[in-house]
Structure 1
Amino acid sequence: MRTSIVFLSALATSVMGANSTTYTLPAGFNVGLVDSSERSAWCSAQRNTCPDICQDGTRLNSCDSNTLDFSCVCADGSTPDVTPFKQTVPFFVCQANYGQCINSHPDDAEGQRTCKKNAVCGSKNATEEADSSSSSTTTAASTTLAMATSTDSTASQTSSVAAASATTSNPAVALGGDMTKYSTGFMAGLMFVAARMIL
């Protein structure tokens, strides 16, 4: 029994390791200087952002607030690069690292310039990108539907015009082609019959 538990534990670790996100904290960043409640908030934001980045659901979505190790694996098994996005662990670490860097160069303008240069934090909004992608799909579907409806409507109008043309030309042919010699009453009756056939 104990052997089975150890085996299952090792298997789970192996699977988790294979699907985990590879992210290395920046050199010089001190996790211990970040308050535990703040790290917990970072992890919460990371877990909320991962599904928006994946868009089609997640297979693995976890974050350890003690170490800031996290996993974001999409339903299709892919592991997205979350670094360009706001509200992710790399985003928060980048900002905090910038603050720690500035604090470690209190009277060093050149050192602070280097801190700023190295602080390239994510700027994309995963929620807006997910909404935009969904909106684009909906717009494309609406455009296709509108084009299909327009085509059907045009075809219907064309066939109605063709039918009307065929209907109104038939009496003229049947009566010898010259309608001017017939009375106005007969013409009105003929037009009425033609109109009824169209409708």
Structure 2
Amino acid sequence: MVLLSSLAVVATVASLATCQNTSTIDPSTVLDSTRKQWCESQTSACPLICLQLPGASGSPKENKCDFKSLVYSCICSNNQSPNASEYSQTIPYFECTEKNNQCVKNCDGEQQCQYDCRSKNHCGAQDPKRVNTTTSATTSTAQATTSLPPFTGVPDKNGVASRPSADLNHIYGLAVVMAGFFAGFATLL
């Protein structure tokens, strides 16, 4: 019985270890400034990714990234951790693209090798889940349309957008002022 529980503990620890974020590249091969930018992108992407999960808000419970090791965590408000490799601007995406860049660099200019580096190792979502879907329906009755002017700036004191720019009063006013200017200048000559 003790052996069985020990095996269960070992199996659990082993499964947790495989779930940890492991780098596909050696972080020391990437500049610190680049890794810092990657971590900033990862922590910025986490809330947006969480918004796509059912029952999660845009405020993750945990959103961390260590630029030295490139270990990150993104745990959404519904206690789920999204698969960050399905998204761009995440650590798995950056590691994948860097791995491809290093592969291309090691090809010594051979085009087929360079092509294979990128075509056989895709980064980001290959078959993304469509979370937001749109359905359309036809209607048999005509819809009423409005003739509101387009928004042309800051609303006036009544909360309505200002008049459309087709109002030419200011153009006419400018023409009158310019005509007066030219008439005055002509009389001086």
What is the TM-score when the length of structure 2 is the normalising length?
0.51
Match of 1:47 in 2: 43
- 1:127-182 alpha-carbon deviations (Å, 9 max, x no partner): xx8xx85x97xx9xxxxxxxxxxxxxxxxxxxxxxxxxxxxxxxxxxxxxxxxxxx
- 1:81-123 alpha-carbon deviations (Å, 9 max, x no partner): 0111111011111111111110111143443233112331115
Rounded to whole Å, the distance in 2 between the matches of 1:30 and 1:24 is 10
Letter of the aligned partner of 1:40 in structure 2?
K
Match of 2:84 in 1: 82
Q: Post-superposition, which runs of at least 4 consecutive aligned residues in structure 1 deviate over 4 A?
A: none
Are residues 1:24 and 2:26 paired?
no
Match of 2:34 in 1: 38
1 or 2 for the larger relative contact order (CA 8 Å, sep ≥6)? 1
Q: Secondary structure at the match of 1:83?
A: helix
Match of 1:105 in 2: 107
Query: Pairwise CA RMSD of aligned residues?
Result: 3.0
How far 1:34 sits from its partner (Å)? Answer: 1.0
Letter of the aligned partner of 1:24 in structure 2?
T
Match of 2:12 in 1: none
Q: Which has the higher helix share?
A: 1
Q: Secondary structure at the match of 1:71?
A: strand
Q: How does 1:134-173 map to 2 (within 5 A)?
A: none
Are residues 1:122 and 2:118 paired?
no
Gaps of 5+ in 1: 1-17, 140-199
Are residues 1:58 and 2:60 paired?
yes
Letter of the aligned partner of 1:87 in structure 2?
Q
- Count of aligned residue pairs for this structure pair: 112
Based on CA coordinates, which of the two structures has the bigger radius of gyration?
Answer: 1
What is the TM-score when the length of structure 1 is the normalising length?
0.49
Letter of the aligned partner of 2:49 in structure 1?
I
Are residues 1:91 and 2:93 paired?
yes
Match of 2:151 in 1: none
Letter of the aligned partner of 1:22 in structure 2?
Q
Rounded to whole Å, the distance in 2 between the matches of 1:22 and 1:117 is 27
